[in-house]
């Protein structure tokens, strides 16, 4: 009992371990930054301080890019545009009124004469960034992969064109000048520190988890109730805010700029820094900026010639770019995911690797709602009828097997029940008011599933894989973590919790997929060939786990399986499908002896000969 209450207090009242871990990581990065800056502040000259100020601004911008690209997997060229918008907005808001009257003669009245301080302007700019982020993010929601990247490129071009065309407001292609220069070393470092914390923590929020899951496997993410559009929009807006903050500082750091300063060159510089460090982690963004700036600053000092260790160095301008290019090629060649692309610091996780696991065998409540009923369901693919006029209903607290020859339409039927495939005609009712054919809404309505070819999230840890699903039904991250650990323990995967899912063996990945599905607290669990590729021992293990799950939680299990021993041992009801139609529906005994079934499996002549024997 004492153990139980302790467990409760650590997992409920204090921050979830993911946030604690992320918080410590963020603090470590911020501490490293502040220490470096302090050293420069105390011992460096004014020029070095400028270098570090610029580095902190770039860090903020690159973290903004990382928050989007790192979590959604979509390479963005558009963040340079947000930096530019932030810079121009700050310029207009902070320009001294007298100068504004001469430099921007035709400025519309409502924009003129604010003369704000930097921080007041920053607040306005950030609010603006949220609005612009929401507007520009909407078109991205329908796109995926490279087409989304191209859309960000289009955004960059549109913003550049607007900045050049908006002559009354931006001075067009001419330099925008006279911005007061209030941003110094410590302002830039403070903003960068906030960006570090935001980027590191965002990964662990439900948005961050959902975005990363969808980036790893969009269908898999939808199957655990993740709406990738909201997650992507959140990452986009947050990234835009950080980039605009960087732009606000850049405006005050440069004092003079024009639209070309925030165009392709700048976008590629940001991307190059992020790719060197590693796109998928905030540590990668941090390292990328630090390494790039360090290489540039060290090499730059040898370009102008001079003496080094008693050797006369030739004047060699361009050396910086050369060394930087070679360094980038080396990084991409040796470490394709960047220096720290695949991991965060994870200081806490390293220091006490064995996190407490719930020993509770509490039976999780399942989602409310009734049975699944399928009414006159059909699905046609260009003339091929995969599912033909099927009417079925499934009750919770039962195990149903769907069998049939290859190509019979089993998976299509299961996909329609899961909301993953839109029926050509007919309806699927899942007992709640979930809309037709929306995988993530069906998942939230208590229909969990696994896939024929496993769809775990390979780059996320085993625990995160399950937390993504648990977060959909649990009230907070701490509760989701506790639930996820419980499901992992149930599946015997607790010792792998902090390993990337990609490192698991095949059978373990199958079990992880089941654990992830169960974390949704489903009413129904749809399993598409759960034993495929497993050996006899693993299959037996799976059967006992599934039987136990069904007994404990009284959920309805619907499974497609070719392993007849598994089906006959586990299922109470078997539906046989052939050529898209239901040809038998009953208990295992009834189905085994149904001549139509035997005919479908073995051909009619063998069926007659074999009548009475077990279906193999």
Residues at the site binding other proteins, with contacts judged by CB under 8 A: 45-47, 50-51, 54, 102-103, 164-165, 167, 172-175, 177-178, 181, 250, 253-258, 260-261, 294, 297-298, 300-304, 306-309, 317-318, 320-321
Distance in Å, CB of 203 to other proteins, minimum: 26
**In the complex, what is the shortest distance from the CB of residue 567 to other proteins, in angstroms, rounded to a whole number?**
58
Q: How far is the CB of 117 from other proteins (least distance, A)?
A: 18
User: Which residues face 576 on adjacent strands?
Assistant: 403, 584
Q: Which residue has the tokens 């625990």?
A: 463
> How far are the Cα atoms of 24, 46, 48, 293, 599 from residue 306, in angstroms, in the given order?
44, 22, 19, 22, 89
Rounded CA-CA distance 113/96 in Å is: 7
Place of tokens 């580095």: 55
Given a contact cutoff of 8 angstroms between Cβ atoms, the answer to whether 18 and 498 are in contact is no
Contact (CB, 8 A) for 94 and 180: yes
Choose among 321, 213, 237: nearest CA to 64: 237
Instruction: Report which of 259, 239, 255 is spatially closest to residue 170, judged by C-alpha positions.
Output: 259
Q: Is 452 helix (H, G, I), strand (E, B) or coil?
A: coil
In sequence order, the β-bridge partners of residue 257 are: 176
Nearer to other proteins, 127 or 308 (CB): 308
Q: Which is nearer to other proteins, 12 or 167 (CB)?
A: 167
**Beta pairing partners, 387:** 379
Q: Judging by DSSP bridges, how do beta strands 581-586 and 425-429 pair with one another?
A: unpaired
- Cα separation, 7 vs 141, whole angstroms: 40
User: Taking the complex as a whole, how short is the minimal distance between the CB of residue 296 and other proteins, in angstroms?
Assistant: 9
Helix (H, G, I), strand (E, B) or coil at 372: strand
In the complex, minimum distance from the CB of residue 303 to other proteins, in angstroms, rounded to a whole number: 6
CB nearer other proteins, residue 161 or residue 422: 161
Residue 446 Cβ vs other proteins, minimum distance, rounded to whole Å: 53
Q: Report the nearest approach of other proteins to the CB of residue 291 (Å).
A: 10
Which one, 334 or 352, has the nearer CB to other proteins?
334
Q: 207 vs 257, which CB is nearer to other proteins?
A: 257
Q: How many C-alpha atoms does 598 have within 13 Å on its Cβ side?
A: 19
Judge contact between 253 and 157, C-beta under 8 A.
no
**H/E element, 18:** helix 17-43
For other proteins, the closer of residues 33 and 559 by Cβ is 33
* Of 246 and 460, CB closest to other proteins: 246
Cβ at position 184, least distance to other proteins in Å: 12
The nearer residue to other proteins, 19 or 118, going by C-beta atoms, is 118
Q: Count CB neighbours of 352 within 10 A.
A: 8
- Between 179 and 274, name the residue whose CB sits nearer to other proteins: 179
Nearer to other proteins, 226 or 293 (CB): 293
Q: What is the nearest approach in angstroms of other proteins to the Cβ of residue 294?
A: 7
Question: Measured between alpha carbons, how far is 462 from 497 in angstroms, rounded to an integer?
Answer: 5
Q: What distance in Å separates the CA atoms of residue 388 and residue 503, rounded to the nearest whole number?
A: 40
Nearest CB to other proteins, comparing residues 284 and 423: 284
The contacts of residue 205 (CB under 8 Å, 6+ apart) are 477
Burial of 589 (0-12, 13-18, 19+ CB in 10 A): exposed
Q: How far is the CB of 300 from other proteins (least distance, A)?
A: 7
String of DSSP letters for 517-544: HHTT--SEEEEESTTTT--HHHHHHHHH
Least spacing, CB of residue 240 vs other proteins, in Å = 21
Among residues 69 and 320, whose Cβ is nearest to other proteins? 320
* Placement of tokens 């392709």 in the chain: 264
SS (H, E, C) 304-359: CCEEECCEEECCCCCHHHHHHHHHHHHHHHHCCCCCCCCCCCCHHHHHCCCCCCCC
Least Å from the CB of residue 83 to other proteins: 12
CA distance 299 to 307: 14
Smallest distance, other proteins to C-beta of residue 127, A: 26
**CA-CA distance, 278 to 276, in Å (whole number)?**
6
Query: In degrees, to the nearest 5, what angle opens at C-alpha 222 toward C-alphas 506 and 417?
Result: 90
Minimum gap (Å) between residue 289 Cβ and other proteins = 13
Whose Cβ is closer to other proteins: residue 255's or residue 586's?
Answer: 255
Nearer to other proteins, 18 or 55 (CB): 55
Is residue 577 within 8 Å of 562, Cβ to Cβ? no
């Amino acid at each position: 009992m004492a153990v139980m209450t302790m467990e409760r207090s650590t997992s409920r009242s204090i921050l979830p371990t993911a946030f604690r871990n992320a918080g410590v990581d963020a603090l470590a990065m911020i501490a490293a930054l502040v220490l470096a800056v302090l050293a420069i502040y105390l011992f460096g000259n004014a020029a070095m301080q400028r270098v570090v100020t610029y580095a902190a601004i770039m860090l903020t911008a690159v973290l903004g890019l990382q928050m989007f690209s790192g979590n959604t997997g979509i390479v963005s060229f558009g963040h340079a545009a947000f930096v530019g918008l932030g810079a121009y907005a700050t310029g207009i808001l902070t320009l001294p009124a007298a100068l504004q009257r001469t430099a921007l003669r035709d400025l519309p009245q409502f924009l003129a004469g604010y003369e704000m301080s930097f921080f007041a302007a920053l607040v306005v700019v950030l609010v603006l960034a949220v609005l612009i982020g929401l507007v520009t993010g909407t078109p991205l929601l329908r796109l995926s992969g490279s087409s989304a990247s191209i859309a960000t490129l289009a955004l960059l071009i549109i913003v550049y064109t607007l900045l050049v065309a908006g002559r009354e407001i931006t001075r067009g292609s001419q330099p925008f000048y006279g911005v007061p220069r209030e941003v110094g070393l410590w302002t830039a470092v403070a903003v960068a520190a906030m960006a570090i914390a935001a980027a590191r923590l965002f990964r662990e929020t439900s948005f961050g988890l959902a975005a990363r899951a969808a980036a790893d496997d969009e269908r898999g993410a939808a199957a655990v109730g993740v709406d990738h559009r909201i997650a992507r929009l959140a990452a986009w807006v947050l990234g835009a805010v950080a980039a605009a903050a960087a732009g606000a500082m850049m405006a005050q750091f440069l004092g003079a700029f024009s639209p070309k300063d925030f165009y392709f060159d700048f976008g590629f510089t940001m991307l190059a820094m992020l790719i060197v460090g590693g796109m998928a982690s905030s540590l990668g963004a941090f390292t990328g900026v630090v390494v790039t700036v360090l290489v540039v600053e060290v090499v730059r000092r040898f370009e102008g010639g001079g003496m080094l260790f008693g050797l006369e160095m030739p004047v060699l301008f361009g050396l910086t770019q050369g060394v930087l290019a070679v360094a980038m090629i080396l990084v991409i060649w040796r470490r394709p995911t960047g220096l720290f692309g695949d991991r965060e610091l994870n200081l806490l996780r390293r220091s006490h690797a064995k996190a407490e696991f719930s020993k509770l065998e509490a039976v999780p409540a399942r989602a409310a709602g009734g049975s699944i009923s399928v009414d006159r369901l059909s699905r046609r693919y260009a003339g091929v009828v995969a599912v033909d006029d099927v009417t079925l209903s499934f009750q919770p607290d039962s195990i149903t097997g769907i069998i049939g020859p290859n190509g019979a339409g089993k998976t299509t039927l299961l996909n329609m029940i899961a909301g993953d495939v839109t029926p050509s005609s007919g309806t699927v009712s899942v007992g709640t008011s979930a809309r037709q054919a929306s995988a993530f809404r069906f998942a939230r309505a208590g229909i969990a599933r696994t896939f024929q070819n496993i769809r775990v999230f390979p780059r996320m840890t085993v625990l995160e894989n399950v937390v993504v699903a648990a977060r959909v039904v649990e009230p907070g991250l701490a509760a989701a973590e506790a639930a996820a650990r419980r499901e992992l323990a149930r599946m015997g995967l607790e010792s792998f919790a902090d390993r990337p899912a990609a490192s698991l063996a095949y059978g373990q990945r199958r079990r992880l997929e089941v654990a992830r599905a169960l974390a949704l607290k489903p009413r129904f669990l749809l399993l598409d060939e759960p034993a495929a590729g497993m050996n006899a021992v693993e299959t037996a293990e799976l059967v006992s786990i599934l039987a136990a799950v069904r007994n404990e939680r009284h959920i309805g299990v619907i499974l497609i399986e070719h392993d007849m021993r598994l089906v006959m041992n586990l299922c109470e009801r078997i539906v046989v499908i052939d050529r898209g139609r239901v040809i038998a529906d009953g208990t295992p005994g009834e189905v085994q002896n149904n001549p139509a079934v035997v005919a479908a499996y073995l051909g009619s002549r063998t069926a007659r000969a074999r009548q009475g024997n077990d279906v193999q």
